[in-house]
Amino acid sequence: MIPIIEIAKRALDGKPLIEKEYDMRVFSPRVRELVKEYGISYDPEVLVPSDDGLADAVFKAAFDLICDVGVYCKDTERIIAFEEKEVRNELKTSYDHAVLGEGMEQRALLPRKPDSKEKPWIFAGAGGVTVSDESIFMRLVENYAKRIPIANAITTPCLLSVDGATIRARSPLEIEGSIRTVVLGREALRRAGRPGLPIMNAIGTAESAIALASGLHPDFGLRKTDGYMIAELAELKTDLDLLNRAALLQSLNVPIAGIYGPIYGGFAGGAEGTAVTSAAFHIQGILTYGASWTLCFPIHIKYTSSSSPELIWLASLYAQAVSRNTKVPALYYNYTAAGPCTEMVLQEFASEFIAAISSGASIETGGVAKGKYFDYLSPIEPMFAAEVAYASAGVKRADANEIVKQIVPKFIDKVPDPPRGKRFQDSCDPVTGEPSKECFEIYDKVKKEVTDLGIEFLY
């Protein structure tokens, strides 16, 4: 692992460049050149490719991209550069697993391969989406742990307020909100009878390094066996606050993830360039943060979701590229266009996760209704997503392609104007968190649809 001090030096002393120049004259042109050089092409008839050569071409292009353009530090306006030999050595000596959780819930997060029968890591829950009060937070987390027995880890919501006061970044309210997020999450997992489950999205409420640090207190904070995610900024960027997090977490010797949301239709271009950029982000997390796992969530620039056919293809190809060519476990996270208690949201989950799991990824669930509306969460969606992902292990890519191609037409016309669904307050019992009869009826209907297409659920 490259010492964080060395990364910081390069961020401070690297080649100076205005950010716009990096985007327009360095990054974007090189992505286009590499896509053409390696013959990478999107085929709308093949949403889950089975071509290992294509996957390897995406990875080679991603490797060249990192070596050629480096990682841009927004605060210093300098490029963190890496030599080819250095990148190769880091990939060879990188972590190949992360141990997470405590007691009976302790498990190893391991890499997977395309077509593998190995069960994926199930990181289930809210995906950091915001909730309006602490009671909703508690009911959701408790029900995630109770209703998803195959969950290996929990992702908690973010808090909108503390004692009625709206949380503001870099204020005492952010500190208190971060602390309370951990305390509430731990208590909810205890009530569910699974106190050892790791919370893998660190502290969703923490927007700054100092707020993250506030939630690491040994008496009430996160544990060393929880997961710690550090964002990588679009495209191939970081900043000093994020590097501060890496410095803190590396000193604590905890599992770190690099997480990234490449933008389809942005500086990376179309599906091909965004697939290459996604794989390059995976390498960036290893190089800049010492990541022992990574998480990718591609976003459509127009729809701010990830269930469009082009994004399903790039998610599948990205997963194949990094799982075939690195040993660092890769997770995939999606943003559905539709919201809770709709057929569409479950169909989106099914299509994306069948593609990702058959391609060698594990998953994080969440991000319903584009992850942009507070309280638009229920336990049903992550439960269904986890079950689909678990059942998709061992499905061959060619078979997954045929299944996904039958699911996508059921919802694709609604992506531009999707149903928002229902808030927690309107779809679940506010006291117990029990989903409504309507939610379960929708769940049963879509589960049968997916079963009829050939996915064999565990239960």
Q: In the structure encoding, which two tokens stand for residue 325, read together?
A: 């060519």
Query: HSE-up of 435 (CA within 13 Å, CB side)?
Result: 26
Q: Where are the alpha helices (DSSP H) in 80-155?
A: 84-92, 134-147
Locate 342 and state its tokens.
């709709």
CB 401 within 8 A of CB 317: no
Residue 423 has a pLDDT of: 96
Contacts of 287 (CB under 8 A, 6+ apart): 2, 7, 66, 71, 82, 87, 90
Q: Could you say which DSSP state residue 120 is in?
A: P
Which portions of the chain are predicted below pLDDT 70?
202-220
Residue 202 has a pLDDT of 62
Helices (H), ranges, 192-308: 209-214, 240-252, 271-289
**pLDDT score, position 411:** 98
Is 298 in contact with 262 (CB distance < 8 Å)? yes
pLDDT given for residue 213 in this prediction: 67
Distance in angstroms (rounded) separating the CA atoms of residues 291 and 231: 11
Phi, psi angle pair for 208, to nearest 5°: -130, 160
Residue pLDDT, tens place only, 74-105: 999 999 999 999 999 999 999 999 999 999 99
Q: From CA 199, how far away is CA 190, in angstroms rounded? A: 12
| pLDDT tens-digit readout, 16-43 | 999 999 999 999 999 999 999 999 999 9
How many angstroms separate the CA atoms of 353 and 132, rounded? Answer: 28
Per-residue confidence (pLDDT) for residue 215, from 0 to 100: 61
- Report pLDDT digits (tens) over 123-169: 999 988 999 999 999 999 999 999 999 999 999 998 888 888 887 77
Strand order in 78-80's β-sheet?
15-16, 78-80, 71-73, 237-238
Domains of the chain: 98-452 (3.20.20.460)
Tokens at 39, concatenated: 């013959």
- pTM of this prediction? 0.95
Contacts of 358 (CB under 8 A, 6+ apart): 48, 114, 115, 316, 392, 395, 396, 397, 399, 400
> Tell me, what DSSP letter sits at residue 167?
P
Instruction: Please state, in angstroms and as integers, the Cα–Cα distance from residue 409 to each residue in 43, 308, 389, following that order.
Output: 16, 10, 20
Residues 6 or more apart whose Cβ sits within 8 Å of residue 44: 309, 310, 313
